[in-house]
Structure 1
Amino acid sequence: MTDTTSELGPSRLQKAVEAIAISPKDAAKLVDGYRRSFRKKFEREPETPADKRRIASKVIDRYSKFAAATGAAAALPGVIPGVGTAVAVIGGGAADIAASLKIQIDMCMCLVDVFTEEMSSEDKKHLAFVLALAGSLEGLATNTGKVAVEKVAQKLVFQYIRGPALVTIKELFKKVGVTFLQKTAAKAIPAGVGVVFSGSTNYVLTTVVGKIAVTVLAKDV
């Protein structure tokens, strides 16, 4: 029998997700495509806060639909690039969790690129991981999709991003792993992406994480 607790240990889960997450460089390329589309449609650069929020909305919609469309862990290697690596690192029993986190981290990496300019690739990566993990953690801990939940989560995410990045990320992976285990054990989340999410739950959670990230990132725009 697969030891799911071991699979979701903070070091193994973190290693698996980091191995398959999008790079800041690739995220920048994807966002640049949205900027080109914006320039073509509006014949100007996307410079205002409203412009950036419009692009961010496209990014969130893309990844939320992607999250809803993903299948069981056995099918993930053919659906999400790099998930085969996650399977090798932590096993198929928890690869679906790594895949779910990858989708949210990839989304946040793109959102960071939309709203930030003068930030190193490493700082962008750290910020995206904190936003995705903290947003997912708070969404899972409550009933996702409610405005009140988003407001509470935003305050907590602000607290997380003020801490030392590497320590915070390690701690968040630990908390997220434990939360997933608790939800799975209690059968609080229906089957969908492996044993973790239904398509609709995955869609809503990813959308909530995206909205939280935008609120945090847009505060200085």
Structure 2
Amino acid sequence: MATRVVAVDVGSVRTNFAWAGLDLPGRRPVGEGGRHPEGAALAVLEAINASVPVALGFEAPLMVPVSPVGPVDGWMTLGRARQGETIDGRSRPWSAGAGSGALATGLVQLAWVLDRIGAAAPRLRCTTRPDPWTAGQAELFVWEAFVSGDGKPVPSGISQHAADAAAAADTFADRLEQATLSTSDVVCTPSSSFNLAAAAAAYAGLAIASNELRGQVQVYRTRPGVLPR
């Protein structure tokens, strides 16, 4: 089935933002990618208008763990790393400097991109769960890209940001082909998950189930040696 994947490397919209897209099957690049949020939104809308489902990934924490409120002193685990959130064998929680910076930057940029999409396609069906998307119950699937450590690509003729976005898109294509979209590389357990992607979709007026606000976001980590094709 025809599918478009758009992956975004968040950063300063003046200097460090990058996106890359692939049309599947075949992994045909969507133009040359781009360096601003408007282009990413238009790449999504172009596919949606052609009745092609889209998977939109952002390289930023899109869910954060919230400790249970029942246990005494349960608040003491607030801010801890998500399960699987390691880089080079070391825990690098989303709440550390780099992660929290990417979260703040990425959340604003995701909200803007989704708002831009929603303005052109009101009540577009959106989900952060792979099964409804692959079943055709939602046109837009939002996921988190994890590009770091030994999975970070070495750019060749393009910026590091563009290479990261392209590697994330390529990784998603692999996961789709392997039918492993339901397996997330990072999860929020045993804590509850605050789904920032679902919150951003609701902010943008997209049609998303309210119970996704406490659901997981699928996180797909790039592997060593993944490079833009």
TM-score normalised to the size of structure 1?
0.31
Which structure carries more strand by proportion? 2
Which structure carries more helix by proportion? 1
Work out which structure has the larger RCO, using CA pairs closer than 8 Å and 6 or more positions apart in sequence.
Answer: 1
TM-score normalised to the size of structure 2?
0.30
